[in-house]
Amino acid sequence: MRLQTNSRLAAHYHLMRRIRTFEERVGELFVRGQSAGSMLHLSIGEEAAAVGVGSNMRDGDTFTTHHRGHGVFLARGADPRLMMAEIAGKETGYCSGKGGSMHIADMKLGHLGANAIVGGGIPSVVGAGLAARHRKSDNISVAFFGDGATGQGILYESMNMAALWHLPVLFVCINNQYGMGTRIDNATAAPDLHKRAVSFGLEGAQVDGSDVETVAEVAGDLISDARSGKPGFLVVDCYRFYGHARMDKSPYRDETEEAQGRLRDPVAKARQTLISRGEMNDESLDELDRQIAAEMDATIDFAADAREPQLDSIFDDVYDPSTPPPESVRDRLARVLGRARQA
Ligand SMILES: Cc1ncc(C[n+]2csc(CCOP(=O)(O)OP(=O)(O)O)c2C)c(N)n1
Ligand SMILES: [Mg+2]
């Protein structure tokens, strides 16, 4: 749907609502038993981080995400049908069904890869930032990761190199208050995470992740600094609305805390602000939501109808084409395929 307004907040609402609805449909795919793999991490409640930062990035900029990265990829222009197909393990998906939710990537859109290893995607943006500078482009590279990654040494090695070499890089920590079942105040005695970055020589800021306008404004400043060689670190404070993964019912959080946390809803807040400013009204927002629901419903049908990958394509896109898979692995596949044909 084309928005009938030029309001930047309306555009942000549109994208955040698309992300939220996509995530709800991902949950549905899982419940239907049609997702590949057993782990799905939803970013419901964290949409302002994806949209506030992502909307300040440009074509040619690159990024990595953690395991909870559906929203970031959508904010950078991913086609939700191809994402859903990937999550369903289908050949049509972004990585021919071999990456799934946690290892999705697409070089055309600058997505250097989601990563299931906590902190694993962070050093790649240092390399990408260095490459952008050698190419004399003004592109930046952004690492999106969770608060849990602030317990990983690789983050500090990466921040140090980015600051030392003045790289066009932004580190974005999506602080949803939890690393699996451990709340941030049980994981660190110093929860002012952005201050750590300042001590490494980076620009550091912390923002309220329920307010997409603030996230976008602060991220915009940090990104323009990064483009001129001043790397930064942004902490987006938010709340993980649901469990760590789909099977986690969060027995370690009490209901009062969850109810309070879910009040920090960036989608609801943007909606209220649009109405109170007279930029949109309930009817136009409801109509927009209905159109988004239809778009995202269609992603489930698209994924369900998409082709399964063929067994003999198992090594395609996995090894570098110039490096054939090891002989022993190919022999094993030939045996498996032989047995499958006899059966
Ligand atoms: C190096 C490493 N250690 C442990 C794990 C297991 N693990 C998976 S997700 C996770 C918590 C991550 O928390 P955070 O970085 O805050 O991201 P969130 O899940 O909250 O988005 C852990 C410990 C892992 N994947 N990698
Ligand atoms: Mg977390």
Q: pLDDT tens-digit profile of 226-279?
A: 999 999 999 999 999 999 998 899 999 999 999 999 999 999 999 999 999 999
Half-sphere exposure of 2 (CA within 13 A, CB side): 1
Q: Looking at ligand 1, which residue's alpha carbon is closest to its atom 11?
A: 179
**Among the atoms of ligand 1, which is closest to the Cα of residue 68?**
21
- pTM to 2 decimal places: 0.95
Measured CA to CA, the distance from residue 66 to residue 114 in angstroms comes to: 5
Question: Strand, coil or helix: what is 114?
Answer: strand
Q: What is the pLDDT of residue 239?
A: 98
pLDDT tens for each residue of 287-307: 999 999 999 999 999 999 999
- Ligand 2 centroid to Cα of residue 238, in Å, is 9
pLDDT tens for each residue of 158-201: 999 999 999 999 999 999 999 999 999 999 999 999 999 999 99
Q: Hey, which of 47, 171, 180 would you mutate to test ligand 1's pocket, going by the most ligand atoms within 8 Å of its Cβ?
A: 180
Confidence class for position 334, pLDDT limits 50, 70, 90 = confident
Asked whether residue 325 carries a pLDDT value surpassing 70, the answer given is no
Q: What is the pLDDT of residue 76?
A: 98
Q: Find the ligand nearest to 43 CA.
A: 1
Q: Looking at ligand 1, which residue's alpha carbon is closest to its atom 20?
A: 179
Q: What is the DSSP letter of 250?
A: -
Torsion on CA atoms 309, 313, 315, 317, rounded to nearest 10 = -70
pLDDT tens for each residue of 18-68: 999 999 999 998 888 888 877 899 999 999 999 999 999 999 999 999 999
Output the average pLDDT for the chain. Answer: 94
Q: What is the pLDDT of residue 323?
A: 74
Ligand 1 residue neighbourhood (C-beta within 6 Å) = 41, 66-68, 116-118, 146-149, 176, 178-180, 240, 244
Phi-psi region of 97 (alpha: psi -120 to 50; beta: other; left: phi over 0): left
Q: Find the ligand nearest to 242 CA.
A: 1
- Ligand 2 centroid to Cα of residue 237, in Å, is 10
Residues with CB under 5 A from ligand 2 (ion): 146-147, 176, 178-179
**Among the atoms of ligand 1, which is closest to the Cα of residue 176?**
20
pLDDT tens for each residue of 73-90: 999 999 999 999 999 999
Torsion on CA atoms 34, 36, 40, 44, rounded to nearest 10 = -50
> Does the structural domain 8-309 have CATH classification 3.60.15.10?
no
